[in-house]
Every structure is written in C-alpha cells, then in structure tokens.
Amino acid sequence: MTYVMGIDGGGSTVRVLVVTPDLQVIGEAKGSTSNPNLVGREVAKQTIQSTVREAVAAAHLTTDQIASVGIGIAGGEASHSEAWLREVVAGVTPHAEIVPSGDHEIALVGAHGQRKGILVLSGTGSLACGVGSTGDYVVIGARGYLLGDEGSGYWIGMEGLKAAIRDDDGRGRHTKLTNLFLEKFGLPNVEAIVPWLYHTGISRTKEIATFAGAVLDQSEYGDLVAADIVLRAAEELALAARAVNYRLRMEALPVAYAGGLLAFANPLSLKLCELLGLSELPQPRYAPAIGGAILALYKLGLNLPTP
C-alpha cells in the first residue's frame, strides 16, 4: 500500500493527514501555527515535524513509509521557502517525494478535488487564485492589508471604522456601525479610536477584521452604509476572480470559495455569487490538507478519484 501525506499550515494551526491513494484518511494530527513569518523558522520546523510524527503514529505507520508529501504554508510557493520546506519535511519523512506549495494552492486543489479551477478567499485577508488547463498558477491579491486585501475581513472592518468616523464628524451618512464599534472595543467615544488604533507595539489587524461580522449583520438590517461596504467588498472579490480567469486566458472556470467570510451564506458570499453568476454557494470538495495530499499523489503519478 502507498501512503501519502497532506500538510496544511495556512491558518492558526497546522493540520497533517496521512492518506491512501483513494483519499481515505488513516491518520491525523494538529499542532500550533507553523507560519514561519509569525513564529520563526526554527519553531515552525519543530511544530511541523512533531505534528507529522503524531499523524504517522495515529496511522500506525513509520515515517519512512510515507511515499510523498504535499505541504502548503503561507509564502511556501516562493523559491526561498521551497528549499526550507523540503529540508523540514525531508528531516522527518526521509524517503518521501516532497511538493512544497502555498497555503492557497492546496486550498484550491482541495476545494476542486483537482489542480484546476478558481478559488476566491476572504478571511482576515483576501485573494483569488487559479489554475488553467496548461497548469499555470495565477494569484491576484495576497499582498497584505497595507497593499490591498480588498474584500477581506480586515478591509470590511476598516471600511466600517472609517464610516463610523465620517459619521461622527459629519462627513458621512449616519450609521449604526459607529456605536457598535465603540461598544465592541470598549471605547468611550470616537476620539478614543486614534490612540487605541495607533498604540505603540500593538497590531489591531485581527481585531478590526472581527468587526466585519457587525458590518455584514447591519447590511442585512437595512443600514445603507454597511450595505454599501458589503457591495464594494463583493465587487472587489469578483474583480479579482475575473482577473484570474483573464490571466489564464480561459473560458469560465469553476469557482470555489474559502475563508471564514465565504464559508456560509451571508450578504457578502451571496452577493459574490450574484456577481459571478453562480446559482448557489459553492462548497469545497475537500479540506486544504487533502489538497496537499492530492499534490503528493500527482507527484507519484497516481490516478485520483474522479472529482
């Protein structure tokens, strides 16, 4: 029997699956974040390797029985990261073929069950990526909150915050987002936002991203300012998806969603469906870690279950 492994290190945890060629999971383990940009390469290496060992033990195998490994972490598709990922994985699965990749690529492969299609992601950040019939891989976005992340949780939350400030000083329309922001973060008034936001040594990125939920809720409750933010967010995500399709020079490719804001029916995900001409909310076929396992199977030249 051939055994492969998929590793998803794209979120706040790392997930490792040991999988058979028919994509049956026989071993699984989770660890803390393996993003080297957050914890450093040495800590990330230790986390990945220990989680791999746990997954192999859960499958009642040894690490030298793993034939191929597909791993995706943030930034893993960059050439300087590929060599490091190969070194990390080879250090614990010595006989395995290794396929290093980015976290969004394994999410795309998992969502479609194959390395073809378009993925639109909106969580704390945002991006769209895709693979066409030639195998070329295209990413739009994924440049972080300072350069973009349009349509993401952070972007929506920040647009809500900006709208609250404009409401307070008279430059914008009245919105319930103003009081909701103050209440959520325990601030006495709008003037307190500036010292809260720019406090030395503290990043508010994730906190602001959590405010996206309030913006989505208020858009449903009839707040015109919130509804406009959600519409613009959906338009940005749709634009990114169309740009991927254009770059691939393909006829319309199947679209899948990823990220917390597109994982369920809400004003953003449904508006995006409308803009992309989708009749229903697309559900991922497999989890990202299975996407990594599929890349591992590709490396071995094995046939996959029909999507």
pLDDT of residue 306: 61
pLDDT higher for 123 or 272? 272
Backbone angles phi, psi at 153, to 5 degrees: -60, -40
Q: Is the pTM of this model over 0.75?
A: yes
Separation between Cα atoms, residue 29 and residue 280, nearest integer Å: 33
Q: Does domain 153-276 have CATH number 3.40.47.10?
A: no
Mean pLDDT of 32-40: 82
- Closest by CA to 214, choosing from 230, 203, 198, 202, is 230
Q: Does domain 3-113+285-300 have CATH number 2.102.10.10?
A: no
- Closest by CA to 22, choosing from 6, 36, 2, is 2
pLDDT of residue 150: 96
Mean pLDDT of 275-301: 94
With beta carbons less than 8 A apart as the criterion, state whether 35 and 73 touch: yes
In one letter, which amino acid is 70?
G
pLDDT of residue 133: 86
All CATH 3.30.420.40 domain ranges in the chain, comma separated: 3-113+285-300, 153-276
Q: b/e string for 2-13 if b means 16 or more Cβ within 10 A?
A: ebbbbbbbbbee
- Closest by CA to 197, choosing from 157, 150, 257, is 157
Q: pLDDT grade, residue 307 (50/70/90)?
A: low
- 61-106 confidence digits (pLDDT tens): 999 999 999 999 876 666 558 889 999 999 999 999 999 998 899 9
